[in-house]
Copies of this chain bind each other. A is one copy, B any other.
Amino acid sequence: MECQIYLSEQPLDGNEVFRFLQTPASGGMVVFTGTVRDHFENKKVIRLEFEAYQAMAVKEMERLAAICAEKWPCHRIAIHHRTGVLQVGEIPVIIGVSCTHRREAFAACQFLIDTLKESIPIWKKEVFQDGSHWVSAHP
């Protein structure tokens, strides 16, 4: 398994993820792309601000890819995450997996994004017209 981990303020490139994932043995590739939505619980979102514990986040993303590859036979795993200020429609995260079969690729991709959201030290602040909040901080 090869993995490609990015965490930076630069815009993410879905094409690069796609090119990285392709191998002659991979029959199925699944790519999840998150985008900044224009609303949250009926409130209009102005922008998002992402902050990361950079060194730890990269380490945890590498660990996450390794755990995923133990659960499913993945050929390639890409985890690209952006930090800084993002406008509506911009892309904070792209996760891609290639496997021999599609079922494994779907399961692995879903596991990666679910677990990323639970365990990677990255924080997102939603900014509304009348204030802001750190997402998921409170019960």
Contact = CB atoms under 8 A, between A and B. Distances in A.
Nearest to A101: B37
A109 B22 CA distance: 19
- Tell me if A's interface is mostly helix, strand, loop or mixed: mixed
A35 B39 contact: no
A102 to B, nearest CB: 6
Given A30-B31, A32-B106, A106-B106, A38 B18 contact: no
A37 B100 contact: yes
Chain A, interface size category, equals: 20 to 34
A25 interface: yes
Interface string A3-44: 000000000001100100010111111111111111100000
Given A102-B34, A102-B113, A113-B102, A18 B14 contact: yes
Contact of A106 (B25, B37, B110): B110
A84 interface: no
Nearest to A117: B102
23 contacts: A18-B33, A22-B89, A24-B37, A24-B88, A24-B89, A25-B38, A26-B35, A26-B37, A27-B35, A27-B36, A27-B37, A28-B34, A28-B35, A29-B32, A30-B30, A30-B31, A30-B33, A30-B109, A32-B102, A32-B105, A32-B106, A37-B100, A106-B110
